[in-house]
Amino acid sequence: MKIIISPAKSLDFESKAPTSLHTQPRFLDQSKKLNKKLKTLSKKKISELMKISDDLSALNFDRNQSWQTPFTKENAKQAIYSFTGAVFQGIDVNSLSEEKIPLLQENLRILSGLYGLLKPLDLIQPYRLEMGTRLKVGKTENLYKFWNEELAISLNEELKDDELLVNLASTEYFKALPKKTLKVPMITPIFKDFKNGEYKIVMTYAKKARGLMVRYIIDNNVNTIDGLKGFNVDKYRFSEELSAGNDLVFTR
């Protein structure tokens, strides 16, 4: 099974990862090209392009200028221990048993505007570059066109013909993997909460639930659709009535 998630804007490069195990991002050459472009952007341009505050643009200007290869344990950190957003809080990798880390490395992939497709133990340096950013690089006018079908091709090389692909990424990021290019159908878990008399996606809760689903899959060695339907964490339960096709709806 392969699981796709989005990255997070919030990062932790202060604390040390609990493992020395690490790998290198597959698309580091492409990341270098993107960083070369990012290095040319002023603080003002970063603020306008990413629609962020002056303080955040200054922070990311410094990140862009400091970014350099080769990545080592001294100047970079494993991706799964670096992102700290709601999805990653749901995964809670620091409480994952050590023997489960290889399974996480095998199954989980993190989409990234700068790094393309990351394995959990891939080293990264601090950055901010959302997939939807209209960054023009060479003849490509945005990141979707920059990555084109390259990420889907890479994922297809990893996928077995009968392997499940579970989409727990946001729409913004999964658009970087055109469905028509994937060799297996994708299964998309959707999380809804009962609010104002109906079931709705409450994004704050849905993001955390995506991470909880990743953790559930890894903890229970899930590799079937029926296994996914057994997800019953944080009061979520599978809803046969609301589900359709490969969209599996979980409610609470």
pLDDT in tens, 88-114: 999 999 999 999 999 999 999 999 999
Q: What is the per-residue pLDDT for 107?
A: 97
Residue 126 lies in domain: 2-251
pLDDT tens sequence across 19-32: 999 999 999 999 99
Domain count, the chain: 1
Q: How many Cβ atoms are within 10 Å of 102's Cβ, its own excluded?
A: 12
pLDDT in tens, 69-83: 999 999 999 999 999
> Is residue 178 over pLDDT 90?
no
* pLDDT tier at 180, thresholds 50, 70, 90: confident
When pLDDT is cut at 50, 70 and 90, the band that residue 226 belongs to is very high
Q: How many CA atoms lie within 13 A of 238 on its CB side?
A: 16
Contact 113, 142 (CB under 8 A): no
pLDDT at position 179 is 84
Whether the full predicted model's pTM is greater than 0.85, yes or no, is yes
Q: Is the dihedral of CA 235, 98, 170, 222 positive or negative?
A: negative
